[in-house]
Structure 1
């Protein structure tokens, strides 16, 4: 990254706006409480009715609040620490920073298009903007010709790549199992609730899961791009799965039967963090592999 000022300004903006978005999401509570709403498909959906997420369903809003806790207590501190390390020229810091920015980008892109319009709309816009461009700057700051020497040879690429591929296929089939049946019957999946389309499933199937699959395939083949995309995706996935684990706990607290995901998501979460540690431990201590931020 050639410009430290650009990254510092963008990431600092994400940190400050992220604190605003998460604290408002966690602590806002005004509103009448649960209310029933008839969706465009004629289904009765119970709305949360409180705080900034009052127009989200009673099952989705607690998930948003749970994710806000993870973003505030894990995402933002990791963003601060990784920025400091990256500015000092640390490869580990740069990997952590890029992956964490990927988490913020995906998180607030989903908030922007799914959290229902509320007073934080422009905050979500700004967070998505800042996350996207800082993520792009970080990606472009890695030197392509040196990517295959960024990690030690004993890095377990088959294990990491196999995990990324397996996870992408498993989640892909999970989403398709919930989509294809209703499509063939001419009905609507229960996950649609009062939304007009399946935003999470659509973006997962079209962008995130293919990215995981390709990253896994490339690193197994020891392709240079695999050494760039796989560690970044793993860091992103680790934080994302932590937030999903938090969402599951949030649902359990309100008495929702989450089914087998109570075992699946925490397991994926644990493996993701193991892979993150493996990447960070196997980094070559060659700071010349990074373009200077300054």
Structure 2
């Protein structure tokens, strides 16, 4: 496959960057933008801030290097698009209806279709070539399983006990039914995709290297908004966060951040000639 980005990939990504910046700035500075309890509004604004200072720079840097046919840049670009898809899907459903509703929908659609278009045109063999011999696939596979289990345990702890007792989750009582959107996305899409990436990488299937990299960049980019929002909730009295929930919130994002950095650094290395090959040439 051609390693160059298509023109529509670039234009759509630029549109996402611009719209995301406008929407986040409006959330931070437009009076009355969010109609919710003060504690919830504060978490929305922290979310806007992290999109501005983390999400947008990650996507912009990934786009810049992906346009120059960098395999590492391609992974960062795809991870940034996965982040934008995740965030704007959540925002479009969670945020009480306001004047930016169609902007949220446009951001979700642009991010999703650009991500899918980027994945299907990715040269998976080129990605694997940069990692062969530099990546401990067993270690990364096990780490991905740990991340998936931690994330799954976190959300299932909110859902299973109320289902067994016939009550509503405390999050719904405190924040409303939209609070479960993250549970739906993570349990229905993110956790299964993490396990799929782990299985493919363990078997050293070519696309496993791509999926694992994208998952790790997504997790690392989500570390800021999830971590900050958890801290905000723990400091306030609007939403209850137990110590166990906090532990299973921070564990996956810390592990994924560390692994994302080491994964990308591994891609930056150049394959070294083998000793046997050198001996063969010297004979």
Compute the TM-score of the two structures, normalised by the length of structure 1. Answer: 0.82
Inter-CA distance 225–201: structure 2 relative to 1 (3 Å threshold): same
Correspondences of 1:28-43 after superposition (within 5 Å): 28-29=30-31
Correspondences of 1:22-101 after superposition (within 5 Å): 22-29=24-31, 51-55=32-36, 57-101=37-81
Count of aligned positions: 264
Deviations 1:144-169 (A, max 9, x none): 45553241313122222212111211
Inter-CA distance 60–151: structure 2 relative to 1 (3 Å threshold): same
Report if aligned partners of 2:71, 2:126 keep a CA contact under 8 Å in 1: no
Deviations 1:85-115 (A, max 9, x none): 1101111111100001000001001111121
CA distance in 1, matches of 2:179, 2:33: 21
Q: Which runs of 5+ in 2 are unaligned?
A: 271-283
What CA RMSD, in Å, does the superposition of the two structures yield over aligned residues?
2.2
Aligned: 1:221 with 2:223: no
Partner in structure 1 of residue 242 of structure 2:
259
Compute the TM-score of the two structures, normalised by the length of structure 2. Answer: 0.85
Partner in structure 1 of residue 183 of structure 2:
201
Higher helix share goes to which structure? Answer: 2
3-state SS in 1 of match to 2:105:
helix
Inter-CA distance 92–237: structure 2 relative to 1 (3 Å threshold): same
CA distance in 1, matches of 2:155, 2:75: 29
Inter-CA distance 252–196: structure 2 relative to 1 (3 Å threshold): closer
CA distance in 2, matches of 1:203, 1:210: 10
Q: Which runs of 5+ in 1 are unaligned?
A: 30-50, 287-294
Correspondences of 1:84-233 after superposition (within 5 Å): 84-193=64-173, 194-195=176-177, 198-233=180-215
Partner in structure 2 of residue 42 of structure 1:
none
Higher RCO (CA 8 Å, separation ≥ 6 residues): 1
